[in-house]
Amino acid sequence: RTKVWQLQGTEPAIAEQWIHEAALCLAEGKTVAFPTETVYGLGADATSTEAVESIFMAKGRPSDNPLIVHIAHREQLDDLVQPYNELAQRLMERFWPGPLTLVLPARSGAVSPRVTAGLSTVAVRMPDHEVALRLIAASGKPIAAPSANRSGRPSPTRAEHVVTDLAGRIAGVVDGGSTGVGVESTVVELDGDRIHVLRPGGVTLDMLAELGTPVTVDRAVDPTLVGVEVVLNHIHSGKEIIPTESAVAENETVSSIGFEKEIVNINGADIEQLQLPARQLVVEPTKDSQVTVSAAEAVAPRSPGMKYAHYAPQGTMYLVQGDDDTAVSAYIQADLDDAKQRGEKTGVLTFHEHATRYRADVVVELGSLQQLEQAAQLLYDALRRFDEAGATYIAAETCPAEGIGLAVMNRLVKAAGHRLVRVP
Ligand code: TXA
Ligand code: MG
DSSP letter for each residue of 348-359: EEE-GGGGGG--
- Reported residue count of the chain is 424
375-386: average pLDDT: 97
What average pLDDT does the chain have?
Answer: 80
Contacts of 280 (CB under 8 A, 6+ apart): 216, 217, 218, 219, 222, 295, 296, 297, 299
188-192: average pLDDT: 91
Residue 276 in this model has a pLDDT that exceeds 60:
no
207-219: average pLDDT: 85
310-330: average pLDDT: 87
User: Rounded to an integer, what is the distance from CA 82 to the centroid of its chain?
Assistant: 27
pLDDT at position 289 is: 29
| 220 band by pLDDT with thresholds 50, 70 and 90 | low
Ligand 1 — pocket residues by CB below 6 A? 36, 38-39, 41, 65-68, 99, 101, 103, 116, 119, 121-123, 127, 145-147, 184-185, 187, 198-199
Please name the helix (run of DSSP H) or strand (run of DSSP E) that holds residue 35, with its range, or none. none
Q: Give CA angle at 165 (162, 169), nearest 5°.
A: 90
Percent of the chain, pLDDT > 70? Answer: 78
Among the ranges given (5-14, 132-141, 309-318), the one the predictor scored with the smallest mean pLDDT: 309-318
Kindly provide the residue ranges of all beta strands, DSSP E only, lying in 259-357, ordered along the sequence: 281-285, 291-293, 316-322, 346-350
Mutate to test the pocket of ligand 1, among 63, 101, 136 (most ligand atoms within 8 A of CB): 101
- Spell out the domains of the chain, with CATH numbers in brackets: 3-182 (3.90.870.10), 219-232+242-301 (no CATH), 308-423 (3.40.50.11030)
113-118: average pLDDT: 92
- Kindly report the number of other CB atoms within 10 A of residue 10's CB atom: 14
pLDDT tens digits for range 322-337 = 889 999 999 899 989 9
Among the ranges given (47-51, 62-66, 273-277), the one the predictor scored with the smallest mean pLDDT: 273-277
Residue 237 in this model has a pLDDT that exceeds 70:
no
| Nearest alpha carbon to residue 408 among 365, 384, 375 | 375
pLDDT at position 309 is: 52
**Ligand 1 atom at minimum distance from 115 CA:** 26
| DSSP per-residue codes, 371-388 | -HHHHHHHHHHHHHHHHH
Residue 4 in this model has a pLDDT that exceeds 60:
yes
290-294: average pLDDT: 28
d(CA 340, CA 41): 37
d(CA 211, CA 127): 20
Residue scoring higher pLDDT (150 or 293): 150
| 226 band by pLDDT with thresholds 50, 70 and 90 | very low
Ligand 2 centroid distance, CA of 310 (Å) = 9
